[in-house]
Amino acid sequence: MENKKSTNISNKGYSKYLKSIMAFIDLSIIICVSLFFFKGKFNAFILFSISLLWVLIAIYVKYYEVHRYTKMITIGRLLLRQFLFFSLAIFAAIGVCNELVISRNNVFKDIIVIFILISISKYTKHYLLKIYRSEFGRNYRNTVIFGDVKSTLALQSFFEEGPEYGYILKKIFNLKKENDSFLNDCLAYIREESVDEIYCSISDLNSVQINKIIEFADDNLKKVKFIPDHKEVFSKKMYYEYYGYIPILSLRNIPLESSINMIVKRLFDIVFASIIIVFILSWLVPLLGICIRIESKGSIFFSQKRNGINNKEFSCYKFRSMVRNNEANSEQATRNDIRVTKMGKFMRSTSIDELPQFFNVLNGDMSVIGPRPHMIKHNEKYAKKVKKFMVRNFVKPGITGLAQVKGYRGEIETDSDIINRIKFDLFYIENWSFLLDLKIVLQTVTNVVKGEDKAY
């Protein structure tokens, strides 16, 4: 069965910045209302502290985790939880800060006004987005369903009768009584039609079919979700979501898809990269530039195309550590590589050659921490050879990462090197936290000081 409703890629409009915009609006409301109630009593530091409290509580209660299918009552529950914790935190802070002499009555009024304005803002945004989808045909996601038509009827009705949720059901595939080539045709259709999300009825697919769909989704950056048959859940990483009253299982939860987490990580990247550029690269670039040019002809920097988030190509920068050669974009550096200069050997052993990538971080192509990007040629090679390799491209690549601090950096000598690298990269993607990033930074510095066997 195929839905004939025509769409194009521009209709999808994921609006990934909506949560960030809503957070900015909320903080603006908090600051403006607080300034109105406490003229001359709140300085920039106090306003920053209040804003930080709001953000930290929002992360804890998952306040901004509101999706297109989220019910109004769920939004209300999130609002109440957010303001309960926020109010307690504000009054506790006032109690601790004795020098801040303000009226508790005014604080209470301030919180009530903020609550009303933010509630109106949150519900208005949710309502306007529904109108935007249903009336203007934007902000859509293309979907397909694998399963018998009867078993998926409720989800089909949800998609087709609720245009305000922004899902377009492109097709339903019934794999029963079909051969393996039919599933291949289905997967080709998904790729050709730019399908975003794949829904599978667990009871209508066998394990081989499910595994094949999952591998395809990982390799092509598609999201897979499951319609449960109320039997035992077969993956600890799965979690429930509700479309109306229909339970849906999601295969992989990626913390960095959360707008708040994205903001936290991006702020850390900008601050950390700026510090390195201003206080280290500002004097190191001319110094190393002289040393590099004295030893060999060529530019100071080396630029190479790599695959980044969503598999988009970008130019990755390094200090040039090799003589100019025709294999630079296809062959990794090996132990005792004759292409590496004397200065390059020192830079590579201390990882100094990677420092220009902080410009990539500032530009938004990379993050300080993340899966290391590979050459285009190697990316294509390992995507075919190693299962789940492409999952790494769900997040920005990093200057360093969990796999690197665990010893899987540099040259890939055996299959176990790339397999273990992918294992640690996947763990990082599915278990990201700001504390984990800090831990990796500290471990990276420790490894550089101690020296690493594969830093060549």
Per residue in 17-55, pLDDT tens?
778 888 999 999 999 998 888 776 677 888 888 899 999
Please tell me whether residues 356 and 439 are part of one structural domain. Answer: yes
User: Is residue 338's pLDDT more than 60?
Assistant: yes
**C-alpha to C-alpha distance for 239 and 256, rounded to whole angstroms:** 16
Average the pLDDT over each of 145-154, 232-241, 264-273 and give the range with the smallest value.
232-241
Please give the Cα distance from 193 to 178 (Å, whole number): 21
pLDDT band with cut points at 50, 70 and 90 for residue 398: very high
In terms of Cβ atoms closer than 10 Å to its own Cβ (0-12, 13-18, 19+), residue 356 is buried
Stretch 388-408: mean pLDDT: 90
Residue 129 inside a domain? The answer is: yes
Q: Comparing 358 with 148, which gets the higher pLDDT?
A: 358
The pLDDT of residue 98 is above 70: no
Chain segment 247-289, per-residue pLDDT in tens? 777 766 788 888 788 888 999 999 999 999 999 999 999 999 9
Q: What mean pLDDT comes out for the span 408-424? A: 84
Torsion over CA: 44, 45, 48, 54 (sign)? negative
- Per-residue confidence band for 291, with pLDDT thresholds at 50, 70 and 90: very high
Q: Is the pLDDT of residue 13 over 70?
A: no
Q: Are both 335 and 264 inside the same structural domain? A: yes
Q: How many domains does the chain have?
A: 3
Q: Of the candidates 86, 120, 135, which is a domain's last residue?
A: 135
Same structural domain for residues 80 and 104?
A: yes
Across all residues in the chain, what is the average pLDDT?
Answer: 85
Q: Are residues 115 and 182 in the same domain?
A: no
Domain boundary among 110, 135, 160: 135
Looking at residues 138-162, what average pLDDT do you find?
85
Instruction: Enumerate the β-bridge partners of residue 340.
Output: 322
With bands split at pLDDT 50, 70 and 90, how would you rate the model's confidence at 4?
very low
Q: Is residue 170 part of a domain?
A: yes
Does residue 6 fall inside a structural domain?
Answer: no
Same domain (yes/no): 106, 156: no
- pLDDT at residue 6, as a whole number: 41
Report the percent of the chain where pLDDT is more than 70. Answer: 90
- What is the model's pLDDT at position 380? 85
pLDDT bin (cut points 50, 70, 90) of residue 455 is: low
What are residue 169's DSSP bridge partners? 143
Does 131 lie in the same domain as 148?
no
Assigned domain for 3 exists: no
Give the whole-angstrom CA distance, residue 275 versus residue 194.
40
Same domain, 209 and 268: no
What's the CATH code of the domain at 186?
Answer: 3.40.50.150
According to the model, what pLDDT value does residue 416 have?
Answer: 83
Q: Tell me: do 83 and 224 sit in the same domain.
A: no
Q: What is the pLDDT of residue 331?
A: 73
Does 7 score more than 70 pLDDT? Answer: no
pTM of the model: 0.65
List the structure tokens of 45: 């530091």
Asked if the model's pLDDT at residue 59 lies above 70, the reply is: yes
| Higher-scoring residue by pLDDT: 115, 202 | 115
CA–CA dist 61, 56 (Å, integer): 9
* Spatial separation of the C-alpha atoms in residues 208 and 196, rounded to whole Å: 22
Higher pLDDT, 329 or 278: 278
**Does residue 176 form part of some domain?**
yes
Same domain as 219, residue 131: no
- Tell me the average pLDDT across 409-423: 83
Print the SS3 string covering the chain.
Answer: CECCCCCCHHHCCCCCCHHHHHHHHHHHHHHHHHHHHCCCCCCHHHHHHHHHHHHHHHHHHCCCCCCCCCCHHHHHHHHHHHHHHHHHHHHHHHHHCCCCCCCHHHHHHHHHHHHHHHHHHHHHHHHHHHHHHHHHCCCCEEEEEECCCCCCHHHHHHHHHCHHHCEEEEEEECCCCCCHHHHHHHHHHHHHCCCCEEEEEHHHCCHHHHHHHHHHHHHCCCEEEEECCCCCCCCCCCEEEEECCEEEEECCCCHHHCHHHHHHHHHHHHHHHHHHHHHHHHHHHHHHHHHHHHHCCCCCEEEEEEECHHHCEEEEEEECCECCCCCCCCCCCCCCCCCECHHHHHHHHHCHHHCCHHHHHHHCCCEEECCCCCEHHHHHHHHHHCCCHHHHHHCCCEEECHHHHCCCCCCCCCHHHHHHHHHHHHHHHHCCCHHHHHHHHHHHHHHHHHCCCCCC
**7 within a domain of the structure (yes/no):** no
Q: Which of these, 394, 406, 391, 393, lies nearest to 436 by C-alpha position? A: 406
Residues 275 and 192 reside in one and the same domain? no
Domain that holds residue 372: 260-450
Report d(CA 66, CA 17) in Å as an integer.
Answer: 13
pLDDT score, position 454: 65
Q: Are residues 429 and 285 in the same domain?
A: yes
pLDDT at 236 over 50: no
Q: Which of 104, 135, 166 is the last residue of a domain?
A: 135
pLDDT at residue 172, as a whole number: 92
**C-alpha distances out from residue 54 to 100, 223, 376, Å:** 19, 31, 42
Q: Which residues contact 450 (CB under 8 A, 6 or more apart)?
A: none
The phi and psi torsions of 201 (rounded to 5 degrees) equal -85, 110
Cα torsion 193, 197, 198, 201: sign = negative
pLDDT at 2: 54
Classify residue 4: in a domain, yes or no: no
Q: Is residue 377 part of a domain?
A: yes
Place of tokens 């090197």: 417
Q: Do both 117 and 150 map to the same domain?
A: no
User: How far, rounded to the nearest angstrom, does the alpha carbon of residue 205 sit from its chain's CA centroid?
Assistant: 29
Core vs surface per residue 103-122: b (16+ CB within 10 A) or e: eeeebeebbeebbebbeeeb
pLDDT (tens digit per residue) in 305-315: 999 998 899 99
